[in-house]
Amino acid sequence: MECWYAVCCKPRQEAVAEENLLRQGFQVYLPRIRIRQHRRGHWIDAVEVLFPRYIFIRVDPLRRSMATVRSTRGVLGLVRFGGQPAVVPDAVMDALLQREDAASGLHRDDRPLFAAGEAIKLVDGPLAGMEGVFTQQDGDKRVIVLLELLGKANKVSVSRDWIARAA
């Protein structure tokens, strides 16, 4: 019976392992996620592996030798419990697959960049230099911050690229 197994890869070799396992005819799943990172003063979209150093394969161990998996370039070995390869439940794999965007094949990073109540500083836009408090996300590209304007606390929606953590 075919089951999902977790495969441990060499550092930053997930794509190499995926390619080589696919060439051998294995069903392979390498979940990736699109994230936004702040680098050199700019926000960029990047794609990263969701579980660094791990990929998943679906195989029937009675029909296919697991030794070929262990000897694949980029692979360290199978995740094991008690000496036996650990089976990843289908429910877990189904949940992972359902969270994936059908068009891009990527998971979305739903984590907020800032925690509610965290101190922020506006680094761009007409209010650059002001400090405030992060309150919540406002869609994909905007956030709502609490700023003191004219002696009164006001909620303001700004581009999330305009804010940074207060020092």
pTM value > 0.95: no
Residues 133 and 70 in one domain: no
Our count of domains for the chain comes to: 2
Residues 93 and 15 in one domain: yes
Of the residues 82, 108, 134, the one at which a domain ends: 108
pLDDT digits (tens, 9 = 90+) for 85-138: 999 999 999 999 988 887 788 876 666 678 889 999 998 888 889 999 999 988
pLDDT digits (tens, 9 = 90+) for 94-103: 999 988 887 7
| Cβ proximity of 2 and 37 under 8 Å | no
Residues 44 and 91 in one domain: yes
To the nearest whole number, what is the mean pLDDT of the chain?
A: 89
Would you call 163 exposed, middle or buried from its count of C-beta atoms within 10 A (0-12, 13-18, 19+)? buried
Three-state SS for 47? strand
Domain limits for position 84: 3-108
Establish if 64 belongs to a structural domain: yes
| Cβ proximity of 156 and 144 under 8 Å | yes
